[in-house]
Every structure is written in structure tokens, then in C-alpha cells.
Amino acid sequence: MKKFTCVEDLHNLQSALQEAAEIKQNRFKFDSLGKNKTLLMIFFNSSLRTRLSTQKAASNLGMNVIVLDINQGAWQLETERGVIMDGDKPEHLLEAIPVMGCYCDIIGVRSFAQFKDRDYDYNEVILNQFIKYSGKPVFSMEAATRHPLQSFADLITIEEYKKTDKPKVVMSWAPHPKALPQAVPNSFAEWMNATDYDFVITHPKGYELDPSFVGKAKVEYNQMKALEEADFVYAKNWAAYSGDNYGKVLNMDRSWTISEKHMAVTNNAYFMHCLPVRRNMIVTDDVIESNQSIVIPEAANREISATVVLKRLIESL
């Protein structure tokens, strides 16, 4: 595997899930695979889980790790080509990327959607520049349109908790005061569409996702109807995708906040969220603290998804 940015990069999903289960049994089984190999993790945006779980995964494999927070201590980077650099950014990404590539064997990049230009975000300009100019295998630690390490961990978690072969999984929009990217819901939809689960997306009108990510999922605008008999409820906020509303918050209707009333119509569903989560906006205290909440095992599986991905990238060096 030379890069990891989407579900297709794993090729055979079943074998990746099997590998994840084996690594979970013994996460140090390959602890010399990464000896004398260096992982560079580059953050254009904040993180808790991705930073810690990916660093832990690298250490499981015996790698050295360098972490660079672009906004804390590094030169501010210009990302647009053709700009006259007479402003506050003294270095261009097009020099910085190959320089960073000199110091490592594998690069992880976190770079969120900026919501200034939908084409710029959806063409994954920054992530693709790393792939093109670093000379190293690159993986996404959440880019503008996808968060594949999260989705892989989500899938591992559903496989561990499911009680039927084809569970009903419902991804529900929920309110949030800020405009959040579509990376997590896009990616979750992409990974669910790669399974044979019964997958439903529910959101208010105006929050339609890019159809290429929605794929074969059912879209149900009536949230309570969508949640009926669900085995898993995956809550997430996202900003609008369509037209002039791209990147906007259109409503904060708290009737969409996942509460006990919502969970009552499900098949005693498990509650999932990628975290961080705003309590009593996305989900009530009672639901996230309930026995059916699996947000912590879901976060724990980020170490497993990252270990599988890094192992495969090291094996391709």
C-alpha cells in the first residue's frame, strides 16, 4: 500500500478487518517492522485522538515519530501556487513538502476543509500536494473530504458489536453551533457502502452530502422514521455541502439531538460518535453515558486502524 486516503486503498476490506482483529489480539506482534523507520505526522489542525492513537500505533511497530504542528512553531506555509509572497507566510508548501520528505519514511497529514472554495476542498489540494511532492508514502489523518482512519476504526467497532450479519446502521445529522466539515460523514458513508449493511442517512433538508459519497445509502428526512429498528446510531454534525450554502450552518434544531426518545425507537441500538462531541447539542448526557454508548471502544480502535495502516505502508517501503 503506497498511500491511504480512502477505503479503496485497503483493497480487500475483509482481509483488512481480519488483520485488525489479529493485531488487536497482539498489538506488538510486529514491533520490529518499523525499526529505523521514521513517521512524520503533520497537523494543520488540532487533534487529540488522531495524534495519540497514530503515535501509539507507530510505537507498536517500533517506529520513530516526529510531530509537526504547522500552526505552532513552524513557518506559516503558503499553499496557493502563483501567490506573490509579500504577506505573513515566509515559506511555500512546494519547498516545505520535499524538505519534510527528506527526514522521514512515511508522512501522515491532517488538513481540514477550509470552506472558502468547494472545488479546492473537494480536490484535496493540500493532501495531493504531499502525495505528489514528498516522494514518500502518505496517509490521511483527516483531510478535506474524508477521515479514513476514523471510518476504519468505526467499522472495526461495528464488526465487534454487531449481533446480526447485516445490521441496520443509521448516520444521523445532529446540531452544532459551528460549521464542521463533511469529512467524517462522507468517509463513514463511503465505508458503510463498502459493506453489505443496511445503511441509512438522515438529516434535515439542505444538508444533503455529495452524492458520490451517499452512493447506495437510503436517505430518510424523517429522523424518527430513519432510527426505527436501528442497530447502530452514528451521530455527526456537518455543514451544508450544496451550492451557495457550502460550509454554512443552516439550522441548530435541537429536536435532532440524539436523546433517549430517539434511542427508544431503535433495536436497543449502540450509540457511536467519532469524538470530540458537544453534549446536549449532538447527544444528551443520558445517551452518551448509557450502557449502549460505545464511543470509548470506538476511540480505542483508532490505535488498531492506525497500526494496520502503518504496517501496510511500512511493508511497501
Total residues in contact with ligand CP, by rule CB under 6 A: 9
Q: Judge whether 207 and 240 are in contact, CB under 8 Å.
A: yes
Q: What is residue 65's DSSP assignment?
A: E
Q: Is 278 in the site for ligand CP (CB under 6 A)?
A: no
Mark residues 166-185: x for contact with ligand CP by CB under 6 A, - for none: --------------------
Q: Is 303 in the site for ligand CP (CB under 6 A)?
A: no
275 annotated to a ligand binding site:
yes
Burial (Cβ within 10 Å: 0-12, 13-18, ≥19) of residue 210: middle
Q: Which residue has the cell 458537544?
A: 278
Binding part of the chain for ligand CP, among 41-49, 64-72, 111-119, 125-133 by CB under 6 A, reads 41-49
Shorter beta-carbon distance to ligand CP: residue 214 or 306:
306
38 annotated to a ligand binding site:
no
Give the separation between CA 239 and CA 125, rounded to whole angstroms.
20
Please give the helix or strand (H or E) that residue 184 lies within, else none. Answer: helix 183-193
Q: Judge whether 122 and 144 are in contact, CB under 8 Å.
A: yes
Q: Which residue has the cell 493485531?
A: 23
Pull the grid cell for residue 107.
Answer: 508522512
Q: Which of 150, 186, 223, 307 binds ligand CP (CB under 6 A)?
A: 150
204 annotated to a ligand binding site:
no
Give the separation between CA 150 and CA 148, rounded to whole angstroms.
5
Q: Where are the beta strands (DSSP E) in the chain?
A: 3-4, 38-43, 64-69, 77-78, 91-92, 106-110, 138-140, 168-173, 198-202, 218-219, 232-236, 270-272
Smallest CA-to-CA distance from 230 within 256, 192, 269 is with 269
Q: Which of 107, 240, 274, 304 binds ligand CP (CB under 6 A)?
A: 274
Q: Is 142 in the site for ligand CP (CB under 6 A)?
A: yes
Smallest CA-to-CA distance from 236 within 285, 194, 181, 162 is with 181
148 annotated to a ligand binding site:
yes
Mark residues 233-262: x for contact with ligand CP by CB under 6 A, - for none: ------------------------------
Q: Which of 37, 49, 146, 168 binds ligand CP (CB under 6 A)?
A: 49
Count of CB atoms within 10 A of residue 146's CB? 25
Shorter beta-carbon distance to ligand CP: residue 153 or 226:
153
Binding part of the chain for ligand CP, among 185-193, 272-280, 288-296, 305-313 by CB under 6 A, reads 272-280
Q: Which of 50, 145, 202, 284 binds ligand CP (CB under 6 A)?
A: 50
Q: At its nearest, how many Å lie between ligand CP and the CB of residue 49?
A: 4
Smallest CA-to-CA distance from 294 within 147, 142, 167, 109 is with 167
Q: Is 186 in the site for ligand CP (CB under 6 A)?
A: no
Binding part of the chain for ligand CP, among 97-105, 125-133, 155-163, 270-278 by CB under 6 A, reads 270-278
Residue list for the binding site for carbamoyl phosphate: 47-50, 75, 110, 147-150, 274-275, 302
Provide the binding-site residues for ligand CP, judged by CB under 6 A: 47-50, 142, 150, 274-276
Residue list for the binding site for N(2)-succinyl-L-ornithine: 142, 176, 236, 278
